[in-house]
Amino acid sequence: MYYTDRGIEELATRRGEDEVTLEWLADQLRTFVDLHPEFEVPVDRLATWLARDDDDDE
C-alpha cells in the first residue's frame, strides 16, 4: 500500500455513497490548486489522465 492510499481510503470511506458530477470534481480540483499552487502539475496530470481514461492505448 502506498502512503497516498490512506487518503484514497478515507475518501472512499467518507464519500463512498455520494454521487458527484465531473463539474463538481473539476471545481474541487481548481479550488485545491488555488489553495496549493505547488500541486498544479500533479493535479493537471491527474485531470488529464481521468479525462482520457477511456481512450484506447495506441
Nearest CA among 38, 39, 35 for reference residue 47? 39
The residue whose grid cell reads 485531470 is: 47
Output the nine-digit C-alpha cell for 7: 487518503
Rounded to whole angstroms, the Cα distance separating 58 from 54 reads: 12
The residue extents of the domains of the chain are 19-58
C-alpha torsion angle, residues 46, 52, 53, 55 (rounded to 10): -160
Residue 46 binned pLDDT confidence (cut-offs 50, 70, 90): very high
Displacement of CA 13 from its chain's centroid (Å):
16
- pTM of the complete model: 0.76
pLDDT exceeding 90 applies to what percent of the chain? 72
